[in-house]
Structure 1
Amino acid sequence: MMTWGQFGLQDGNSPIMEELIFLHDFINLVLMFIISFVGYMMISMMKNSFINKNLLEMQMVESIWTIIPAVILVQIALPSLLLLYMLDESIDSSLTLKAIGHQWYWSYEYSDFWFAEKNSFYEFDAYMIPSAELSPEMFRLLDTDNHTVLPFNTHVRVLISSADVLHAWTVPSLGVKADAVPGRINQVKFISQRPGIFYGQCSEICGANHSFMPIVLESISGEAFINWIANVE
C-alpha cells in the first residue's frame, strides 16, 4: 500500500500493474526531456538580443519540429495500445468472485464453491472497522471486518455490480478499477503474483459515507486458500 512520503504509484502485484508503472515512468522521462529542451530554448531566446530570421521562417525547421513530436507521440501510443489490448484480453479464469457495492459496504460471493449444508454459495459482507475498534496493526479507514481471500498465481475474474447507486471497485496494486453499476455486470481479471494484503477503496462518489467502504484483498497460496474455503463457517 501507499506509505507516507512515497512519491509514485504503489508497487505492482500483477503483470498489468507492472506494465502500467513502466509506461508511467517512460512517459515521465519523455516529458522531462521535452520540458527541459523547450525551457532551454525559451531562456536562450529571451537572453539573446539577436534574432535569426532563418530559424523563425524556414521550411526545413518547420518540418523538423512537426516530425519529431509526431514520432514521440507514436512511441507513446504503441505501448499504450498494447496495454489496452492486454487489459481486455479474454482468458479462461480459474476462479470467479462476485463483488456487489452497497451504501456503504461491499458484499462478496465465491460462485465456484457451493455449500450443500447451507444450500448456497459462500458469501459475506465486508464493513469498515470503526476507528474506536482498531488494533495497533490495523490501518484507519482501510481495514474491514472480513478480508476477501484469493490465491496468488491464479487467474481471477471479478464480476462487479451494485445494489443501489454507482460505486467503483478499485485495487491500485493489482491495476484493476471498474464501475459498479446497478443492473449491469462489469468484469475485471488479474493475477496476483505474490502473497500479502492489498488495500483499495470505492472510487466513485456514492453518498455521505463514500470514503468508508474500503476493499481488503488477502493473497495466499492455493493450498492455504483451499484449506480456508473448506473451513469457513
Structure 2
Amino acid sequence: MKRQSLWAAGLAVVMSTAGAGTALANEPHPWQIGLQEPASPVKHLMDSFHSLLTVIITLIVIFVAALLAYCVVRFNAKKNPVPSKTSHHTLLEVAWTVLPVIILIVVAVPSFKLLYVAERVPQADMTIKVTGRQWYWDYEYPDHDNIAFSSNLIQESDLKPGQRRLLEVDNRVVVPVNATVRLLVTAGDVIHSWAIPSFGVKKDGVPGRINETWFKAEREGVYYGQCSEICGVNHGYMPIAVEVMSKPNFDAWVAKTKTAQGIGDRSRDVAQAPAPAAGAVQ
C-alpha cells in the first residue's frame, strides 16, 4: 500500500511537471534552456536547422581544440628542437579546401529551403494587418469586415492571477488553429518588429512600407512575443499575444467583436487578393 502511494505521488509530480512545461511552452520562463516549443511549420524547420548547425559547430570546435592540443604537445621545443621546414603538402591542402566546401553545402541546402518556406506566403485563409506604434500595436482584419483594435500592455498593478508580467495585453490577436494567416506588417512612426518565437516569425514594420509574412499555428493556446526592434524608451513594454482557438470559437469571437464594434455583415475575402491589372486606376 505504501509502495502504491509512493508510485502515485511520483506520477503526480511527473504529470504536474509535464503540465507546467506545456503551459510554459508558448512563452519565455525563468531558467529556460533551449528554444521555445515549435508551433508552426516554419518553426519546425528552424529548430531542425538549429540542431544541424549545433552538431556541425560542436564537431568543428572539438576537432580544432584537439588539433591545437596535439600541436602543443607534439611540437613543443623540448620534443621538437629542430622545427620542420615543410613547404607544402598536396593531400592536406586539398583536404582543407574540399572539406569546408562540403560543410558549407551541407549548411546551405537546408538554409535556402528555410528561407524559401519562410518568405513564400502560401494560399492564405485570412489576412491580418499589423501596425506598430510607440508603444502598442494596431490590428485590422480585412477579411472580417475590417474588425480593428489596439493592443496595449497590461500594467503590472492591473494583472490578474495567472497573467504574465510584461507579456499580457488588453486585446489579443485571435486566429483559428491550423489556418494559414497572412500578416501585413507596417509602422506608423518608427521601425518596429512583430515577433512570435513559437511561430518562427519576426517581421519588421517600416513606416510607409508594408512587409509580408505568414504563420500557421498548429495547436491551440496563447503565444507570446515582443517588439524585436529598438523603437524608443518603452520598447521593452510592447508585447504581443496571439490566442489560437478552434474555428467555431473563432467564428463566435468574430461575431461578438463585430457586434461590440457595431459592424454589420459585409463579408468579403481578401486573404489572397490578386494584384491589380496593369494600368488599372487605383
Equivalences for 1:32-111 in 2 at 5 Å? 32-48=58-74, 49-50=79-80, 53=84, 57-111=88-142
Q: TM-score, normalised by structure 2?
A: 0.77
Per the alignment, in what secondary structure is the counterpart of residue 112 of structure 1?
A: helix
Q: From the two aligned structures, give the one with the greater strand fraction.
A: 1
Aligned partner of 1:6 in structure 2 is 32
DSSP-derived class of the 2:143 partner: strand
Which structure 1 segments of 5+ residues have no match? 115-120
- Aligned mates of 1:73, 1:56 — CA distance in 2: 28
Per the alignment, residue 218 of structure 1 pairs with 243
- Pick aligned residue for 1:20 from 21, 26, 46: 46
TM-score using structure 1 length? 0.93
Give the counterpart letter for 1:187 in structure 2.
Answer: E
| C-alpha contact (below 8 Å) 2:138/2:148 kept by paired residues | yes
Q: Does 1:167 align with 2:181?
A: no
Distance 2:36 2:87 in 1: 45
| Cα 1:52/1:77, change in 2 over 3 Å | farther
2: CA distance between counterparts of 1:201 and 1:137? 19
What count of residue pairs does the alignment treat as equivalent? 227
Q: CA deviation at 1:213?
A: 1.0
For residues 154-233 of structure 1, what are the structure 2 equivalents within 5 Å? 154-232=179-257, 233=260
Taking every aligned residue pair, what percent have the same amino acid on both sides? Answer: 38
For residue 227 of structure 1, report the CA deviation from its aligned partner. 1.0
Report the Cα offset of residue 140 of structure 1: 0.8
CA distance in 2, matches of 1:52, 1:25: 41
SS at match of 1:9: coil
Could you report, residue by residue, the CA deviation over 1:184-226 in whole angstroms, capped at 9, with x for unpaired residues?
Answer: 1111111100001000111111111111110000001111101
Q: Which amino acid aligns with 1:84?
A: L
Q: Give structure 2 stretches of 5+ with no counterpart.
A: 1-26, 261-282
User: Would you say the 8 A contact 2:121–2:182 is kept in 1?
Assistant: no
Amino acid at match of 2:28: M
Computed over aligned residues only, the root mean square deviation of the Cα atoms, in angstroms, reads 1.6
Task: State the AA in 1 paired with 2:151.
Answer: A
Deviations 1:92-122 (A, max 9, x none): 21111111111110011111112xxxxxx21
Q: Is the 8 A contact 2:227 2:235 kept in 1?
A: yes
Match of 1:134 in 2: 159
Are residue 151 (structure 1) and residue 176 (structure 2) matched? yes
Q: Which letter maps to 1:171?
A: I
